[in-house]
Amino acid sequence: MSGGATVERVTGEVIIAVEGVSLAFGGVKALSDVSFDVREHEVRAIIGPNGAGKSSMLNVINGVYHPQRGTIRLKMDGTLREFHDMDPHEVALSGIARTFQNLALFKGMSVLDNIMTGRNLRMHSNILLQALRLGPAAKEEIEHREAVERIIDFLEIQAWRKTPVGRLPYGLQKRVDLGRALALEPSVLLLDEPMAGMNVEEKQDMCRFILDVNDHFGTTIVLIEHDMSVVMDISDRVVVLDYGRKIGDGTPDEVRGNQAVIDAYLGVSH
């Protein structure tokens, strides 16, 4: 924002609390005793070298993996509540949406339809009414279409509304993926490497969209990212993982000065 709008960042109460989480696949320890929290309205980054357990951490929050030890508490109806063994469907219903590192879009479907699938959880009329577009279903569809159009407008992808996703360049597909997650109207958005494989310009665009989502909808953002300059620029707080352990936690400046983090990234002689 070259206009120099300096905005005081306001973050709220803890919305996700991860406490002592350990996750192992057989003998492989993906996460061991990781604790951190995410506050309402913040941009929270999870960083770490390859294989540090970042995606596993996201999958734990997302309900894809169930940790062997530790608890995860989510804020629901105003209070933090512990949950066990929630599956992704239930997590999504509780207001947490995500995007994927390797994109999981329907390649043959248009941008519009892909984003519309994100509305699926919010559709209430039964499948028969939907198929026949009868009464309430038609009305509902118009409402959902409007919500989708707002997202298309927000992400500036009007020109590709009816283009099959498979024909779009990678950077745009990432944007569609974000659009589909937004369609859920989530309170928390988990982004798995939203900037991977993008050129500088696409990265800048994506940063702007993430910050806009955070600002405009008040969505809490948890993101995994490799590009340090991006992380340092847009996050409020950063968690650093290495070999499944948390080695740093704090504001970008604090993390930058943390000796353990520097060692993990630059290597250290033993």
Choosing from 29, 39, 73, 161, the residue that interacts with another protein (CB under 8 A) is 161
Shortest gap between Cβ of 222 and another protein (angstroms)? Answer: 22
Shortest gap between Cβ of 10 and another protein (angstroms)? Answer: 10
Shortest gap between Cβ of 260 and another protein (angstroms)? Answer: 35
Choosing from 133, 150, 197, 254, the residue that interacts with another protein (CB under 8 A) is 150
Choosing from 13, 87, 215, 233, the residue that interacts with another protein (CB under 8 A) is 215
Choosing from 82, 156, 233, 254, the residue that interacts with another protein (CB under 8 A) is 156
Choosing from 26, 27, 79, 146, the residue that interacts with another protein (CB under 8 A) is 146
Residue 8: both structure tokens together:
């005081």
Check residue 143 for interaction with another protein (CB under 8 A): no
Would you say 154 or 243 has its CB closer to another protein?
A: 154
Site for another protein in 3-22 (CB under 8 A): 3-7
Choosing from 116, 137, 152, 239, the residue that interacts with another protein (CB under 8 A) is 152
Rounded distance between C-alpha atoms, residue 168 and residue 212, angstroms: 23
Rounded distance between C-alpha atoms, residue 83 and residue 81, angstroms: 6
Q: Contact positions toward another protein, by CB under 8 A?
A: 1-7, 145-146, 149-150, 152-154, 156, 158-159, 161, 212, 215-216
